[in-house]
Amino acid sequence: MRARTIVVILTAAIGLGVLTGRFVLPARSASTVASGSAPSATAGGPPPPRPAAGPMTDRHLLSAAEFRKVGISRHIYVRDRVGDGGYANAACAGEKTLEQTLGVRDAHFRGLVTARDTDDGDPTLAVNVKDQVAREVAGDAGSPAMAQNFAQRLLLEEVPCQTEPATHWVYGPTHTVDVAASITASWMGSYDGDLNTAGTAPRGKEPCGGIAVLRNGSHYGVLEVDACLDTAAMTRIVRAAVTQL
């Protein structure tokens, strides 16, 4: 379009704007777009995951593949069961079952282990604790509000273990992983007693695994990571677990 023609169109548009109270500019012609460029498009990406609803199944539990992504090279065996039982570090939460704490007994248990030798009474637990990579316990609370209630209660059980006498193992500060609305997790790193010199987790030190409380829609869960993962690896594993849940 010639420059003179453009000036005439703009002048007419401004005059129309004065009469109507608003300016109306003509659309750009294709010839005014710079050569080799394309009109900008709205930045897109995958939609956020939708909160879970409905019965819990094994497919909602964390897979062994996620641990290979953070450097666990040994073969990981997956052991599942449904029922009741201990759900968190007994030294912190006590020897309680999920039914005793929340009144539910049909949770899904998954043990991720590096040996075939597991406990006769609970196949999700390795006989040798050194063979336990992680253990997840999860269920459907029936509603997002109840899942939030369960998650809060489970997390509060772990908070006291952020303060322990010196030389006793201790949990570190609480980290939050928010994936989407109603899909969130809180986790604490685990520190050996030789790093606990003041009654709390040491500053500037990486954890060695830890525990997470998960909530996704109406689903809730507890994930114990026995493998010695640092902050970055724990964050990745927890995000994968709560998203899958």
* Dist. CA 126–CA 204, nearest whole Å: 31
Quick one: pLDDT at residue 44? 66
* Dist. CA 138–CA 82, nearest whole Å: 10
Quick one: pLDDT at residue 4? 39
Contact 136, 122 (CB under 8 A): no
Q: Which portions of the chain are predicted below pLDDT 70?
A: 1-44
* Dist. CA 121–CA 113, nearest whole Å: 16
Question: Cα–chain-centroid distance for residue 195?
Answer: 27
* Dist. CA 59–CA 23, nearest whole Å: 58
Quick one: pLDDT at residue 1? 43
Quick one: pLDDT at residue 43? 53
Quick one: pLDDT at residue 208? 97
Residue 126 pairs in a beta bridge with 118
Per-residue model confidence as pLDDT tens digits over 23-39: 333 333 333 233 333 33
Cut 0.75: pTM above it: yes
* Dist. CA 245–CA 59, nearest whole Å: 8
Quick one: pLDDT at residue 47? 85
